[in-house]
Structure 1
């Protein structure tokens, strides 16, 4: 047996156990030391002199009172006349002596408060109250058998006092990572329970105790025990006091949330980002396999990828310079590669990049035509869905991003018909595969120049906000999650593309970005109403019975069915599955075989074309 290793293991286990329970006794030790220090500071020579004078005066007053009472008894015995001069004089003297003794007793009490007994002496006096009787009781009860429980109980009380002080004063072993920055080292030192309890009262945080802090991918994390009337909300309201106690810089994000158990809070300091080691540049490889979601970015605290619904209406808010356009581009690129994209750009700068990739609308007449076409497509799909007996559109999604919302609303403010069509796109388009995405620098629904219409905003359920101007804009940007406080995101280049997602929690996200070169590299696919109509007209309708001609010449193979569906106009695997009635696995397998044989060809944007047409 390796005794050295066993001793090391035992020592480490004991130290860890003591570290875990020491914070429980820190408040007791801190209050003890504060009281002892207070008593020691009061024990000055001046207060001692006052106490001695008060004791001397009180002793003299007691002597005078004793003499006056004796003279009163003597006068009462000398005569039975109540109004006799000796008895009256004795009564007056006794009354005056009593009042003087009472006054000197009050002064002596005040002097003893000003010159108190040391806390150590007071503790010895208190423990002697039970220690001496306990020892005597043990001796008296041990006539026939040894009885130790009275003395043992007394000893345990004394030991608990000593152990509580020792654990509360114990310096915790905090493991410090060598990779910590100077700022993180200073913060972790001040989060140490001993330092926190010693200085918490100065900042109005008395009654809170920290646990040893830990470093995580997103920064420093520390649990805080809440005593008395403290709650997570009251501690969060004291965030400025916490910042002052820690000496943290103003730009450092501090988050106070509930812990997994009652009476505890979690204090998070964003000294680092879990997304720091991952490139923010978006590529098509970041498109998830699940067609119902798209990647927004990374959680800066955990490093996890954050996904949002692809077919949901979206509101993206962010002040000028926060990286809103670059953060919006990866989502638009995803929509472009998965379906059709119709960009309505009120300012025009983004359209300069996207016009070589998809359809854009910048001028007032172009914006009006785009709204009309999108609304007409939504109406056409409604008729098609009714004809086919389906409740949700099963074809390509037409995504209509609007950037900048305030400019677009100003352009059509006097055109009630087109404004109504835009409102209908936001409320009716989703189930018909026409999805509205809205981006604005001014997330306001009221005033002369709102960034989003008050009838459109309630339909934009998915909301992401970068830094905004104030609490009013935060309320619109994140709705009932405005307490995430996007208006408090620091201003700086390092925080561009950083924001909060409604319903995700108050954890900051870093979005993906896409530069101009990445946009220009996307395959060109310009949507138009004529293209949508021709794609719909070329759809092969589903049949409940087999075609007579096909039956007479023999049953067609699955590969023949897939090839015929593509030649008839099906352009995606879903279209082929709808047209042929085959399951998705069979369709995918046959498409792969036909592509390998040259009968079919898959374009860069994922569409399937017959081999000759592709050539």
Structure 2
């Protein structure tokens, strides 16, 4: 047997067991410590009140107050002695004379009253001196427990027999003393603030002041008595701490004290602070945005950001959690933001998503964005372009309605047409007197979604009233998805986020670092950082121009066929059909171009009428926009294919005399 190996093995096993036992003890100690840390804030108010009272008593116990107390005690003892003597003399006077009006009895009675009054005054002075020089809180507790134990113990002993006698009062008092000491120990417990190594000096200071011991001690000075914090934690989005609300405190009243909280913490004025409800009643959550969870993620948008779900699109990142925020793709949208807040850059990724997934029509009231998008999608800037775009989008919506009815479906299943209004204030100012087109724009917002025509609205002035509204009051209620960057004030915030205006987008700090940051209605008051797309990114998108049915530029004419043998035509002369020589060649400039879809539709509508027809009836029969029909009719009249009478009716032009189709 190898004794050395056996001994080594035994020693190793013993050492491992010891290490295991020590590790287990350490884990148990840490677990108990964590539990005590969680319980400690609940006893912090009790310990704070105890220490405050003890400190008050300690400060009053000065030598001057002690001298006053001793003097008051001497005076009170002397007054009691004089009172006893006067009372004795009064009794003697009563015995010596039966006459209550005797001078001796009256003198004794007067002296007794004076002595009694002097004793009462001395007693009041003594009580005041005792208040100015009170006993310590520990002495008071000992006297209270002694007053409870001694009489109760004697009574318990007297009423019990030898068989059932127990010292219940003593045990009760001892239990109360232990409970009092334990509560003080927990309330005075210094909870360790866990701070990450990468925490800044500002974050360390804020977390120290959010510590329950500091908060409970200094909160009453700021009018926050009755609130207790829990140990703060450092999250990716900043510092997060829960606050217990005692008494009549509510989350709203605590929010109204935001300035007092900022002063208590010594936080910067520009530091964003948010107070919200916790997951349970009687608690609030305080969040300090000392950092952003999106700081290390590039904000540049690429097509890879398009979600796999065709009904969603990516808006940006949550600055507190770092999660990606998705919004409905097929929902009507309102984007608000004052000048310089990054509205155009934030809007571009969503427009690019709409362009890559379907058709995009940009109606730009100012024109700057159109300069970038005109090479990618169809844009409308000039007044006639804007009116044509509105007419064609409305006509497309009605065309899809007829198609859906013919196919028996309730929701459009084809490509989505996204109509983007950039700077709604300018668009509304341009068409506010054109009631017909304004009504079509309103119908696009209310009727277009189920037909695959979705309206997105962007404005710097999210107001519905006044002489220059940024969004029409009948359009705004239909824009259910709302995102707002920084706006001018509370009025704009109300329209921008509707019932979520308390997110306060008007309080987003100014500065370049907050461009593209805003709030999403219904998501919660957490700041979002949107994706951005620069000019080169827009130019890199594939070109796809949408034109309404029968609209758009005329197709290029097909190249001329090679020269062939001239065709012969029949000419009727005096009852006989003779072969006529070929007609002279028409110059290339006079050859009519191939008809467009709009021209074909207008000619078919006039031909189907079988006689003179009004232009309004042609619009209804062809399904084209009014402006498109007007332009097409003018072109066909000039080409000689339509005749327009003085009353405005249209007829097909008669063929040339002498020609008969073979």
Q: What TM-score do the two structures reach when normalised by structure 2?
A: 0.77
| Larger displacement relative to structure 2 (84-93 or 185-194) | 84-93
1:213 is matched with: 232
**Residues 496 and 45 (structure 1), Cα distance of their counterparts in 2 relative to 1, 3 Å cut:** same
Which structure 2 residues correspond to residues 200-349 of structure 1 after superposition, within 5 A? Answer: 200-349=219-368
1:11 is matched with: 29
Q: Give distance in 2, aligned partners of 1:31 and 1:124.
A: 18
Give 1:51 shift. Answer: 2.1
Give 1:321 shift. Answer: 1.3
1:498 and 2:517 are equivalent in the alignment: yes
**Residues 95 and 147 (structure 1), Cα distance of their counterparts in 2 relative to 1, 3 Å cut:** closer
Structure 1 unmatched runs, 5+: 535-615
1:572 is matched with: none
Which structure 2 residues correspond to residues 427-576 of structure 1 after superposition, within 5 A? Answer: 427-530=446-549
Q: Give distance in 2, aligned partners of 1:532 and 1:121.
A: 98
* Per-residue CA distance 1:171-222 (angstroms, 9 max, x = gap): 1122221011111111111111111111111111111111111111111111
SS of alignment partner, residue 361 of structure 2: strand
1:543 is matched with: none
Q: 2:428 aligns with which of 405, 409, 412?
A: 409
Give 1:396 shift. Answer: 1.2
Q: Give distance in 2, aligned partners of 1:424 and 1:474.
A: 25
SS of alignment partner, residue 500 of structure 1: strand
1:96 is matched with: 114
- Check conservation: 1:131, 1:155, Cα contact below 8 A: no
SS of alignment partner, residue 266 of structure 1: strand
2:82 is matched with: 64
Q: Give distance in 2, aligned partners of 1:91 and 1:129.
A: 38
Q: Give distance in 1, aligned partners of 2:227 and 2:346.
A: 40
Give 1:21 shift. Answer: 1.4
| Larger displacement relative to structure 2 (49-58 or 337-346) | 49-58
Q: Give distance in 2, aligned partners of 1:133 and 1:74.
A: 39
1:43 and 2:61 are equivalent in the alignment: yes
Q: Give distance in 2, aligned partners of 1:139 and 1:96.
A: 46
2:606 is matched with: none
Q: Give distance in 2, aligned partners of 1:200 and 1:357.
A: 59
- Check conservation: 2:57, 2:133, Cα contact below 8 A: yes
1:382 is matched with: 401
* Per-residue CA distance 1:41-68 (angstroms, 9 max, x = gap): 1122222222222222222222232222
- Check conservation: 1:82, 1:88, Cα contact below 8 A: yes
Give 1:530 shift. Answer: 3.0
1:193 and 2:212 are equivalent in the alignment: yes
Q: 1:32 aligns with which of 40, 50, 55?
A: 50
2:129 is matched with: 111
Give 1:439 shift. Answer: 0.7
Q: Give distance in 2, aligned partners of 1:149 and 1:70.
A: 46
Which structure 2 residues correspond to residues 349-368 of structure 1 after superposition, within 5 A? Answer: 349-368=368-387
| Larger displacement relative to structure 2 (147-156 or 357-366) | 147-156
Which structure 2 residues correspond to residues 68-147 of structure 1 after superposition, within 5 A? Answer: 68-133=86-151, 143-144=162-163, 147=166
SS of alignment partner, residue 341 of structure 2: coil
- Check conservation: 2:396, 2:549, Cα contact below 8 A: no
CA RMSD of the aligned region, Å?
2.1
Give 1:93 shift. Answer: 2.6
* Per-residue CA distance 1:283-329 (angstroms, 9 max, x = gap): 11111111111111111111111111111111111111111111111
Q: Give distance in 2, aligned partners of 1:103 and 1:362.
A: 96
Q: 2:70 aligns with which of 45, 52, 60?
A: 52
| Number of equivalenced pairs | 534
* Per-residue CA distance 1:65-94 (angstroms, 9 max, x = gap): 222222222222222223222223333332
Give 1:479 shift. Answer: 0.5
1:160 is matched with: 179
* Per-residue CA distance 1:397-456 (angstroms, 9 max, x = gap): 111111111111112222222222211211111112111111111111111211111111
Give 1:262 shift. Answer: 2.1
Q: What TM-score do the two structures reach when normalised by structure 1?
A: 0.83
- Check conservation: 1:251, 1:490, Cα contact below 8 A: yes
Q: Give distance in 1, aligned partners of 2:148 and 2:278.
A: 41
2:39 is matched with: 21
Give 1:144 shift. Answer: 4.8
Q: Give distance in 1, aligned partners of 2:309 and 2:526.
A: 24
- Check conservation: 1:134, 1:154, Cα contact below 8 A: no
1:173 and 2:169 are equivalent in the alignment: no
Q: Give distance in 2, aligned partners of 1:105 and 1:319.
A: 75
Which structure 2 residues correspond to residues 597-608 of structure 1 after superposition, within 5 A? Answer: none
Structure 2 unmatched runs, 5+: 1-16, 554-662
SS of alignment partner, residue 529 of structure 1: coil
Give 1:149 shift. Answer: 4.5
Tell which structure's C-alpha radius of gyration is larger.
2
Q: Give distance in 1, aligned partners of 2:397 and 2:269.
A: 49
Q: Give distance in 2, aligned partners of 1:527 and 1:114.
A: 90
**Residues 102 and 532 (structure 1), Cα distance of their counterparts in 2 relative to 1, 3 Å cut:** farther
Q: Give distance in 1, aligned partners of 2:441 and 2:57.
A: 76
Q: Give distance in 2, aligned partners of 1:154 and 1:453.
A: 75
Give 1:142 shift. Answer: 8.7
| Larger displacement relative to structure 2 (43-52 or 499-508) | 43-52
* Per-residue CA distance 1:514-558 (angstroms, 9 max, x = gap): 111111111111111136899xxxxxxxxxxxxxxxxxxxxxxxx
**Residues 17 and 137 (structure 1), Cα distance of their counterparts in 2 relative to 1, 3 Å cut:** farther
- Check conservation: 1:319, 1:442, Cα contact below 8 A: yes
Q: Give distance in 1, aligned partners of 2:74 and 2:426.
A: 90
SS of alignment partner, residue 306 of structure 1: strand
